[in-house]
Amino acid sequence: MKLWGLVFLSTAILSLFTVSTHAAEALHRIQWTKSEVESLRGLWIGSIAKTPADKTNGVADNARAARFGHRLFFDTRLSSDGQVACATCHLPALAFTDGRKLARGVGTSGRNTMTIIGAAYSPWLFWDGRKDSLWSQALGPMESVVEHGGDRVQYAHLVSKDAQYRAEYESLFGPLPDLSNAIRFPSSAGPVDDDLRRAAWENMAPRDRTSISTIFANLGKAIAAYERLLAPSSSQFDHYVKAILTKDAVLAKSIMSRDEEAGLRLFIGPGRCIQCHNSPLMTNNSFHNIGLADPEHPPPDKGRLIGVKQVLRDEFNCRSRHSDDQSASCRELDFIKISDPHFDRGFKTPTLRNVSKTAPYMHDGRFSTLGTALRHYNKAPRQPVGQTELTPLDFNKKELSQLEKFLRTLSSAPDVEPFWLEPPEN
């Protein structure tokens, strides 16, 4: 008996000792200064604000509109060849990107597909910010000759002829106009990059053009209501920060490895990443030139330099007749920064949430892996045109791999019922 007691006691002491060394190691590993803890809190999902209201979209937070938008998002009839939907390029399984260098719809786009998760937080949409709302953004790909390839009159006919769409549309936006007169409303017309359809559009009466454009804008508003649901949820990184904020060092250690944690230190410290990738979405929603101009492969993509002009004259911007809040001041447009030395070849800082799923990287998809993207930051080559904002990091191989491991902790599916991430059932 005595012997057993002794054995029991010593095992207990031993395990107590192991627990306390674990705790000691955890405490040793997780020492963040006060200001570092504040940086972590700033990036934490727990600090995210409510989805910003969009008064220009009267159905932004309407559940029926989101259901209608969900259908539209997956509907390949919204294209010139019946093959392309938003979901062709924005695949839920790839954090709403497509895994391609350059997006492919009915043709090939000049840019890489962006994620939609968290896009409702962004004041400017697209890599160059040429749209100022989610709903006006959605109209772009629908009339792009390399993406959906269709046009607004075609889409209006689709909604008018499909009984379910008609009912859903009318319950949200009121009665559809009668589009049955084929002379007034040809089967295909719109201000698209196609001579025939553009001429047909210009031949239409201004009033008829306005009623078609209103239907078109409303489709964008329903799609935006759906996209607004796609907010990010807690990732491995967020669980870690929560443990740090509640001072649970042992839990924190069980959530992130030593390397992931070291990578996080580089991210908020010597890597200077949070200069641009800050806030819970890890973007400052601003435009920067990070030295990616490629004079070998024209035509040059001037990014924000052009985007700023396009958004100001966009027919669907916040100041347009299609906004649902005519009294709203358009703060973003009113205070838009027109020029900045970094706008030439400057692009929007993308969110880094889900970055392990959104390869290839950058506006032109030039880096096929995270590792190669990070090597760019490490070298920060001189920019042949424009002006880069980066300076070399000179991290060693191990540090680069730690940074990459940290970036891989940022994945999490949107915080919605799973059916929103699949094509609608009916």
Residues that bind ligand HEC (CB under 6 A): 84, 86, 88-90, 103-105, 109, 111-114, 116, 119, 122, 125-128, 134, 137-138, 141-142, 147-148, 223, 227, 271-273, 275-277, 288, 290, 292, 347, 349-350, 352, 355, 358, 361-363, 370, 373, 377, 389, 403
Q: Which of 229/403 has CB closer to ligand HEC?
A: 403
8 Å CB contact between 370 and 327: no
Q: Which of 138/189 has CB closer to ligand HEC?
A: 138
Rounded least distance, CB 25 to ligand HEC, Å: 27
Rounded least distance, CB 420 to ligand HEC, Å: 14
Distance of alpha carbon 350 from alpha carbon 373, whole angstroms: 13
Distance of alpha carbon 317 from alpha carbon 19, whole angstroms: 60
Distance of alpha carbon 169 from alpha carbon 163, whole angstroms: 10
Which of 185, 194, 180 minimizes the C-alpha distance to 216?
185
Q: Which of 43/276 has CB closer to ligand HEC?
A: 276
Rounded least distance, CB 238 to ligand HEC, Å: 18
Rounded least distance, CB 155 to ligand HEC, Å: 10
Distance of alpha carbon 106 from alpha carbon 85, whole angstroms: 10
Rounded least distance, CB 349 to ligand HEC, Å: 4
Which of 156, 178, 182, 151 minimizes the C-alpha distance to 169?
156
Q: Which of 104/184 has CB closer to ligand HEC?
A: 104
Q: Which of 149/208 has CB closer to ligand HEC?
A: 149
Rounded least distance, CB 107 to ligand HEC, Å: 8
Rounded least distance, CB 114 to ligand HEC, Å: 4
Total Cβ atoms within 10 A of residue 234: 15
8 Å CB contact between 98 and 89: yes
Total Cβ atoms within 10 A of residue 63: 10
8 Å CB contact between 132 and 314: yes
8 Å CB contact between 23 and 249: yes
Burial, 402: exposed, middle or buried (Cβ in 10 Å; 0-12, 13-18, 19+)? buried
8 Å CB contact between 106 and 79: yes
Which of 149, 320, 146, 147 minimizes the C-alpha distance to 221?
320
Rounded least distance, CB 72 to ligand HEC, Å: 7
Rounded least distance, CB 174 to ligand HEC, Å: 22
Rounded least distance, CB 172 to ligand HEC, Å: 17
Q: Which of 254/372 has CB closer to ligand HEC?
A: 372
Q: Which of 249/276 has CB closer to ligand HEC?
A: 276
Distance of alpha carbon 17 from alpha carbon 28, whole angstroms: 16
Angle at 115 between CA 109 and CA 117, to 5 degrees: 150
Rounded least distance, CB 49 to ligand HEC, Å: 17
Q: Residues near 74 by Cβ (< 8 Å), separated by ≥ 6?
A: 85, 86, 87, 423, 424
Q: Which of 249/393 has CB closer to ligand HEC?
A: 393
Q: Which of 173/343 has CB closer to ligand HEC?
A: 343
Torsion angles phi and psi, residue 317, rounded to 5: -75, 180
Q: Which of 204/373 has CB closer to ligand HEC?
A: 373
The amino acid at 117:
I
CA distances 198 to 154, 204, 208, 291, Å, are: 13, 10, 15, 37
8 Å CB contact between 249 and 24: no
Q: Which of 127/208 has CB closer to ligand HEC?
A: 127
